[in-house]
Structure 1
Amino acid sequence: MSEIVLGVGASHSTLMNTHWEETLHKDRAERFRDALREARDELARTRPDTVVLIGSNHFRGFWLDLIPPFTIGVGECVASGESGTPKGPQPVDVPLARHIAESLVESGRFDPAFSARLQIDHGQSHAIQYLLDGLDVEIVPLVVNVFAHPLPTLQRCEELGHAVREAVHSFPGDRRVAVVGSGGLSHRLPWPDWREPHGDDEEFMVGAWLDGRANWQKYDARRREIIRAAEASLTPEFDDEFLTLLERGEAHRLTTFTSEELEKAAGNGAQELRTWLLMAAALEHAPARRLAYEPMPEWLTGMGVAVIDPAAVDAGQST
């Protein structure tokens, strides 16, 4: 039987790549980067064949002409390569990806979109860059809509995590599978509600999200300018509470939030916590180990890393 051998949750920020030298809190940045390396080493130690890579979309792989709540890459996968992240084709475990997609549909519980030629952005390629560096693994990319309302509910994301676990376990053979959730923690991006933009910058953003499929690079410079001009809005108290829930195996408590309540508590970027929640559910909410938390206003984000090792839990080693 195939098994899930590790779970990892990790924040992402392309400003790590593009503005490292301008980072003021270098000690925090280095601790976060070291935690990514530690998580990468944990992945190497557990020897996965495949990583189910759960990430968000930042309108470089999906656009407002079509936004599914959940999309599984079942064929080719190409990373857009923005801001120094990996670019080009990524190795996909096609048999497992198609099995997961088919199992979800056959269960009658989910109808995910699928893509035989999926384009991902740093919502997943940041994890490829730092967590999968040098590892000989294939991926099953799973993209969650977290920025174009209406969003899938947090409860629905948790349920999907459990269903993904069941699908992995039912895959014939002996695949060793890790699950990575990329995104969060608290942050607020200067992004509008696409349904009601206000002002030139917001109108520009919505236009880029609607018209960018053929030429998303055309909009990228101004997008970056708008983001760099934004003031940081972090909520370390919320981040600590969430990571504490993860450590206790209680991340499912996040499902009590509506999308509006989550944004009010921790910013629109905290909607990416759906990826962590889905990952934790796929690990049956086993207690996690926090590797780092660093508030990084220069990167506009509360940056966290945690791992869930089911073997350690079974051995009574997890806190």
Structure 2
Amino acid sequence: MAEIVGVFATSHVLFGSPDGDAQALRVVEGMNEIGRRVRLLRPDLLIVIGSDHLFNITTRLQPPFTVGVSDTFTPLGDMDIEQRPFAGNRAFAESLCARAADRFDLAQGEELRPDHGVMVPLMFIDPDGRIPVVPIYVNANMTPPPTAARAAQLGDIVAEAVGLDLPSHLRVVVVATGGLSHWINIPGHGEVNAEFDRRVIAAFQSGDMRWLRAIDTETLLKNAGNGGLEIVNWVMAAATLPGRRAEKIYYEPMPQWMTGMGGIAIV
């Protein structure tokens, strides 16, 4: 039986800041720490749960959940990210979709070009692009978006597929990207709700997922903005390794980046 050896979640915003910006430096160090911890776990596969920013999954077709099914992926290149191809794991992606088929209708993406939402964390976790990646996209841009409860159910299936469909010696790390609070191009644009962000992180730290799995879209929109809908990515990831307490790696409320920046580890 393959094993999920760790779960991590991190915001994926990264803007330039003047030298000496203490908050920015702490965020970068937090992301670097997540990268160090992932590499120490020696994963054979990364499952990255993120959101597409209307580059691949547009308003023309709006699947709630999309799995990247390909042998290789080439980054989109937004935010000047290098367009260097990296490996996928088509066999596992296909088996995940097949295993979920009687419970979820998962869209399959053969030609996804991952944008900064997936690539920024990968730049810190696997800068050389050596670890195969299966991306899972949660469509936070559609109306209604997937709920935390639904995302958690898919997380349960991801854990099941890892245990049953991968070779027994493989080590898997699950990474969620996005959040925390940020309002983007809607009333409240640029706001950060540090109190709510800290409540979310504390809930992961408690190991009690009941509130997080039950949180509704209206609560997220009210307290964390439309960008905060990406918190459901964190919920899905945590569901793959249930019953464990998270450790807070970093948190910085950064209205100058329009985001409550945070990261956690569950091992």
Where on the TM-score scale, by shorter chain, does this alignment land: which range? over 0.9
> Deviation at 1:231?
4.8
> Deviation at 1:2?
0.7
> Deviation at 1:279?
0.4
- Residues 1:77 and 2:73 aligned together: yes
For residue 85 of structure 1, what is the amino acid of its counterpart?
I
For residue 64 of structure 1, what is the amino acid of its counterpart?
T
Distance in 2, matches of 1:125 and 1:131, equals 10
- The aligned residue for residue 274 of structure 1 is 232
- Residues 1:5 and 2:8 aligned together: no
- The aligned residue for residue 114 of structure 2 is 120
For residue 51 of structure 1, what is the amino acid of its counterpart?
L
Contact kept? 1:91, 1:139, Cα under 8 Å: yes
Q: Secondary structure at the match of 2:175?
A: strand
Distance in 1, matches of 2:123 and 2:80, equals 9
Q: How many residues align?
A: 265
| Deviation string, structure 1 residues 99-141 (Cα, Å, up to 9, x no partner) | 2121111xx1111111121122111111111222236311001
- Residues 1:303 and 2:261 aligned together: yes
For residue 58 of structure 1, what is the amino acid of its counterpart?
H
Contact kept? 1:252, 1:281, Cα under 8 Å: no
| Deviation string, structure 1 residues 223-275 (Cα, Å, up to 9, x no partner) | xxxxxxx8520000001110001011124412333212210011111100011
Q: Taking structure 1 as reference, are residues 172 and 90 closer, same or farther at Cα in structure 2, changes over 3 Å only?
A: closer
| Deviation string, structure 1 residues 3-32 (Cα, Å, up to 9, x no partner) | 1011000001142xxx323x8x81111111
Q: How does 1:105-144 map to 2 (within 5 A)?
A: 105=101, 108-134=102-128, 136-144=130-138
- The aligned residue for residue 157 of structure 1 is 151
Deviates more, 1:286-295 or 1:69-78: 69-78
For residue 100 of structure 2, what is the amino acid of its counterpart?
L
Q: How does 1:61-210 map to 2 (within 5 A)?
A: 61-75=56-70, 76-105=72-101, 108-134=102-128, 136-173=130-167, 174-191=169-186
TM-score (norm 1): 0.79
| Deviation string, structure 1 residues 40-81 (Cα, Å, up to 9, x no partner) | 111111100010011011111211111110000111423211
Contact kept? 1:73, 1:115, Cα under 8 Å: yes
Which is higher, the Rg of structure 1 or of structure 2? 1
Q: Taking structure 1 as reference, are residues 82 and 285 closer, same or farther at Cα in structure 2, changes over 3 Å only?
A: farther
- The aligned residue for residue 314 of structure 1 is none
Q: Secondary structure at the match of 1:136?
A: coil
Using the aligned pairs only, state the percent identity: 33
Q: Taking structure 1 as reference, are residues 270 and 172 closer, same or farther at Cα in structure 2, changes over 3 Å only?
A: closer
- The aligned residue for residue 232 of structure 1 is 190
Unaligned runs of 5+ in 2: none
Unaligned runs of 5+ in 1: 193-229, 310-319
Contact kept? 1:158, 1:252, Cα under 8 Å: no
Contact kept? 1:7, 1:307, Cα under 8 Å: yes
- The aligned residue for residue 17 of structure 2 is 20
TM-align CA RMSD? 1.7
Distance in 2, matches of 1:28 and 1:285, equals 31
Contact kept? 1:186, 1:235, Cα under 8 Å: yes
Contact kept? 2:247, 2:265, Cα under 8 Å: yes
Distance in 2, matches of 1:251 and 1:298, equals 31
Q: Secondary structure at the match of 2:117?
A: helix
For residue 190 of structure 2, what is the amino acid of its counterpart?
A
For residue 71 of structure 1, what is the amino acid of its counterpart?
T
Deviates more, 1:92-101 or 1:275-284: 92-101
Q: Secondary structure at the match of 1:118?
A: coil
Distance in 1, matches of 2:148 and 2:130, equals 32
Distance in 2, matches of 1:284 and 1:257, equals 17
> Deviation at 1:167?
0.5
Of 250, 262, 267, 1:292 maps to: 250
Contact kept? 2:87, 2:130, Cα under 8 Å: no
- The aligned residue for residue 312 of structure 1 is none
